[in-house]
Amino acid sequence: MKSKNKGLIGVSAEAKNRIEELSKQITAWNKAYYELNQSEVSDQVYDAAYRELIDLETKYPEYKKLNSPTQSVGHQIQTNKQNNKVEHSRQMLSLENAYNFNELETWLKRFKGEEKDFVCELKIDGLSISLLYEDGHFIKAITRGDGFIGEDVTANVRTIKTLPLEIAYKQPLEVRGEIFMSYSVFKTLDGFANPRNAAAGSLKLLDTNLCAQRHLSIFIYETFKQSAQSHFDNLEFLKTLGFPINPANRFCSGLQQLKDFCLEYDEKRKQLDYPTDGIVIKLDSLAFQRELGATNKYPRWAIAYKFSAEETETQIIDIKLEIGRTGALTPTAHLRPVQLAGTTVSKASLHNADQIKNLDVRIGDFVLVRKAGEIIPEIVKILPEKRPENTQVFEYPNYCPSCGSELEQKEKEVIIRCPNILACPAQIQRKIEHWAGKQAMDIHGLGTAIVEQLIENNLIKDVADLYTLNLEAILALDGFKEKSAQNLIMAIQNSKNRSLARLIYGLGIRHTGFNSAKLLAQNYNSLLELSKASPEELCNIEGIGEITAQEINKFFAEPSNLALIEKLQKAEIQTEYKITESQIFGKFMGKSFVITGTFEISRENIQETIEKAGGKVVSAISAKTNYLVCGEKAGSKLEKAQKLNIQILSFDDLEQLII
């Protein structure tokens, strides 16, 4: 008997140690996720540890601490001078998870076999936000934080174009939603592990103009309206006010209908342009929701069915440094090819030197790989128990592997760069590849292998040299015959007349993506005119932030860039806003338009209508603006136009003017 008691004491002590160990680890993971926007482990690893802690605390309640991570939502946030702490009027809860249909069925049994109506919605992988409106005006945005206190991020949330700043509802209103970044926007950024991290980092930027350039999106999923009878009615009410509601929602009753919806979107999510990691299932009846209530962490009337994030094991066979067009060195892990989410993966970005150091990634390591946001392969963690003997810590070089220049790292930057912008072969190649890309000059057939040959044979040193190539030079390259050589020459020559927006984007100015290039082309008639713009003037363009303005100014102050533009002009590249004959004689010739609000047709179609009649569409209202084309839910631009006595047109008015 004494021996048995001794054994029980040993088990109890072991449980206490394990609870302390798990609590410490989960708290650290929470801190990284909610405060630093870094996912140190996969959802599966986190949830397995979290469940183990719950089981142990249930079995050994005497060791459960008041500050256990199972008793809180998220993590206590850190604030800066701009983002102040704000207390939520009602706690922002998390959601209980189900990872398979057995767990979902167990959850349904809580309702004692009664057939209830549920609303199924996509679970967007972003950041929860609370939005406050008073007298029909948006006044405040608060992050979830620890569920009780969040950060005030109102200024940055105002930059989300799909969010109405004014609504036709004068009573105080709180709505909640999820802020996210689309895959198409995420692809244009560097330095982020996944769309969620990019969205979180963007929302905390001190420069709201830079945040606006990140093109964040939002879906609203909840409001608190006392007169409503059902959750679905609330969603319909929010739609009428102009809030963006995710269209993928459905009434379901019983396990089979819930399973059908989950299976349907487990497949459909692969075609969506935004990250979703599961299905949120909510009881539709608000009265029954209130009756069930919540724990201190979860509502009892809702659950999240989580899609399984596909991960697989492979081995790193090499780590190579790739040099971008701006000289940034990006480490890439070369992997033993493995099937992942329907594709063969042989590479994974390691982002920067800090990530290599934090993960302690080495050549030869066995690792878990997953697709971040179902798109970009990333290394989740190494498997130290499988590490081969004699592996070496990976060290960054001191000199550029392409040109031998000493590498540089500016203060407060994590990126290491090669400063040799004029003669580094790798940078030259990336700049030319960018110039030839579809969104830039769209030179069909000018791929990586051909650009590499052109540089190695000293046929080109910059993008302007492309336009001096002749048939004989192309035929001397590997793999070319007369027809293919003629096609490439023709594709290069045809690129001379691309739009000004494509040309600006093709120049590869730092922090100037294609959307920014379009804004610049709308506001300036030529590269020469753009080159003379001051940073202050550029910042007056809605959508151009201070950092982008400074980089544009810096680009045109660089003598080598001015020399390149002169070479492009000599090669007869179109560097001015090109006006067609129909535009010259159009009714809107010389007239400036701004478009605001929502329309039944796309803004692109409205812009095309104006431009075909000779007009020009710009982004910002000024005294030089001739017309404001105004749709529904117009905001500050309408007020400014009225103050400046600018003529305001509906789309019907616009069409009548053209006739």
The set of catalytic residues is 123
Question: Judging by DSSP bridges, how do beta strands 627-630 and 97-98 pair with one another?
Answer: unpaired
Q: In terms of Cα–Cα distance, which of 518, 466, 525 is closest to 493?
A: 466
What residue has token string 């989740």?
Answer: 380
- Phi and psi of 236, rounded to 5°? -65, -40
- Please tell me the distance from the alpha carbon of residue 120 to that of residue 302, in angstroms, as a whole number: 10
What residue has token string 């190579």?
Answer: 320
Q: What contacts 93, CB < 8 A, 6 or more positions away?
A: 73, 147, 294, 297, 298, 299
Q: Please provide the DSSP assignment of 367-412 as one string.
A: EEEEEETTTEEEEEEE-GGGPPTT-------SB-TTT-PBPB--TT
What residue has token string 């929602």?
Answer: 249
What is the helix (H) or strand (E) element at residue 474, kind and residue range? Answer: helix 471-475
For residue 439, give both structure tokens.
């969104």
What residue has token string 């420069």?
Answer: 207
**584 CB burial (10 A radius; 0-12, 13-18, 19+):** exposed
Q: What contacts 193, CB < 8 A, 6 or more positions away?
A: 38, 39, 351, 372, 378
DSSP 172: -
What residue has token string 């809030």?
Answer: 243
| 505: Cα separation from own chain's centroid | 20
Are 49 and 26 within 8 A, CB to CB? yes
- Phi and psi of 118, rounded to 5°? -125, 155
- Please tell me the distance from the alpha carbon of residue 491 to that of residue 376, in angstroms, as a whole number: 31
Q: What contacts 400, CB < 8 A, 6 or more positions away?
A: 323, 329, 406, 407, 418, 420, 424, 426
